[in-house]
Amino acid sequence: MSTDIQAQLSAAVQARKGSLRSLRERIDTLLSPIPVGVALRDDEGLVCTVARVATGASQWSNATWLVAIRGRGYLSPGGKLLASSLSDDESLWDGKNQHYRTTEPIVLAKHAEWGPCDHGLAFEPGKITRELARRLPRAIENYMADCSMERAANDATLPAN
């Protein structure tokens, strides 16, 4: 393969990865106000669930998972990540040392106290991420409507003094 074709292919792959990373960042920004535990649904069914996730970090490159970095993850109906609030270069200051994330997987936060594990959450492929992202606006509308109904029900439950 000529170097021109290799350079073009490399640029195309990087552009695709960059655009998917950008889409995941926009999903995280859009869904950040929604509480953990909420399942967003549209007319077709479940779009995603907001969950607590974590990853590990270490101050040394030869050790893993000395501290847990916690964040939010948006799980697809299939249990994979659509997006996460944890970036690849996330770090944590514990008051004494700076801990850096290297290769530790993202896991559901309830598993974080167990330390390193091989069953990290995988990200959905680009095609599925795009399909679910297209459904998010309707799912968010449904969630806001549910919030309004719950508020009205709560307000009607006890009379004001």
Give the model confidence (pLDDT) of 112-130 as tens digits.
Answer: 555 555 568 899 999 999 9
Q: Report pLDDT for 63.
A: 63
Average pLDDT, the chain: 84
- Give residue 43's pLDDT: 96
CB 68 within 8 A of CB 74: no
Q: Indicate whether 41 pLDDT > 70.
A: yes
- Tokens representing 1 are 């393969």
Helical packing angle, 3-31 and 126-157, nearest 10° = 0
Average pLDDT over residues 67-95: 84
Give the count of beta carbons closer than 10 Å to the beta carbon of residue 82. Answer: 24
Is 90 exceeded by the pLDDT of residue 140?
A: yes
Angle (CA) 75-80-84 rounded to 5° is 55
